[in-house]
């Protein structure tokens, strides 16, 4: 299994401000986790590159691209949570560019899978708005690249604890991209209700799975096995992109979920299984959130093991009874678009 790993010193040059949870040590924690798990020597280290204007403009407006570029060498606060520093623009270009590069290499068969330690993260960045620590929507830029190369069905699975409003915003009317997000709700950024299923030709191709507070491994895995897996099989994507946020980890300072490192490995197993058909196993994961450094280290290692072809961890099936009602609600809302859930 040829699995690429993208990292670059430029990712440490993005400064979100003193005391900010989205800090350079996050990437170092992932690298530490891979090293301690003995996985680094099994990965192919690849250089990053900046995204081009052509790539960015497929999903972002020219005004947005210029606004991020205008931060070069400066400190600019876009909102109370999202501050650019002098090195942010270059880091953001490389964060988007490396996910695009990974996607191209996977589509062309040079790699089987890839894990991008992209920082800053991207899934909150909308077509024309910086927000939620995100400047360019890295996964969306990569999905658009796949579409430009002829892909007709791209699955984006987002297991960050926050809803990826930016990815939804960009593809909500496009049936060529199926966006599936599991997230705490109601929670930042306030989007991602079950009833948000896409618009126009994209109706049904946005699948939001709002999870209750304190959901853990068993709750997440039941939802992924009983909702995500059958929808993915029915869609039969040609490529699977994963917005790999690790802030649903038990103890993460920005959330209240209880997912373990093993739980993340199990979720990765569902994502890999989703690529078993037309995708021929092609999966690209990109780092999103995750602010408990030890949890980030062990969880990213667990996901990487699965990307490398190891069997996902076995998770006990005893979920909280609330999940029965949750799954029933998911089926009722989503079955009109996905009869496989009926």
Q: Which residues are catalytic?
A: 124
Beta bridge partners, 182, equal 209
Residue with tokens 């005004």: 63
Report d(CA 328, CA 306) in Å as an integer: 29
C-alpha torsion 88→93→96→100, nearest 10: -160
Report d(CA 313, CA 272) in Å as an integer: 13
Query: Which secondary structure element, helix H or strand E, spans residue 222, and what is its range?
Result: helix 217-223
Q: Is 77 helix (H, G, I), strand (E, B) or coil?
A: strand
Residue 67's alpha-carbon distances to 84, 89, 256, 280, 325, in angstroms, are: 11, 10, 33, 38, 44
């Amino acid at each position: 299994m040829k699995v690429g790993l993208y990292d670059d010193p430029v990712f440490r040059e993005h400064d979100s401000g003193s005391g900010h949870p989205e800090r350079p040590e996050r990437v170092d924690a992932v690298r530490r986790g891979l090293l301690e798990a003995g996985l680094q020597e099994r990965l192919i280290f690849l250089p990053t590159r900046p995204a081009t204007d052509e790539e960015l403009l497929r999903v972002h407006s020219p005004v947005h691209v210029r606004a991020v570029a205008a931060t070069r060498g400066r400190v600019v606060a876009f909102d109370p949570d999202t501050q650019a520093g002098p090195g942010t623009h270059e880091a953001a270009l490389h964060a988007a560019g490396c996910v695009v590069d990974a996607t191209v290499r996977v589509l062309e068969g040079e790699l089987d899978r890839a894990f991008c330690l992209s920082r800053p993260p991207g899934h909150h960045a909308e077509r024309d708005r910086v927000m939620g620590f995100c400047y360019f929507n890295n996964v969306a830029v990569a999905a658009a690249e796949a579409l430009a190369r002829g892909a007709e069905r791209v699955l984006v699975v987002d297991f960050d604890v926050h809803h990826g409003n930016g990815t939804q915003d960009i593809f909500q009317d496009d049936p060529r991209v199926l966006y599936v997000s599991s997230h705490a709700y109601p929670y930042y950024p306030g989007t991602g209700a079950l009833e948000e299923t896409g618009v126009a030709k994209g109706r049904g191709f946005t699948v939001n799975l709002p999870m209750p507070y304190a959901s853990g491994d068993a709750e997440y895995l039941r939802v992924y096995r009983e909702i995500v897996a059958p929808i993915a099989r029915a869609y039969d994507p040609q490529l699977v992109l994963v917005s790999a946020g690790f802030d649903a980890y038990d103890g993460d300072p920005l959330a209240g979920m209880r997912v373990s490192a093993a739980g993340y490995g199990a979720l990765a197993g569902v994502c890999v299984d989703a690529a078993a058909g037309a995708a021929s196993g092609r999966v690209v994961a990109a780092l999103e959130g995750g602010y408990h450094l030890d949890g980030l280290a062990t969880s990213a290692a667990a996901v990487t093991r699965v990307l490398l072809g190891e069997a996902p961890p076995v998770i006990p099936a005893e979920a909280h009874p609330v999940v029965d009602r949750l799954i029933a609600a998911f089926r009722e809302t989503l079955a009109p678009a996905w009869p496989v859930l009926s």
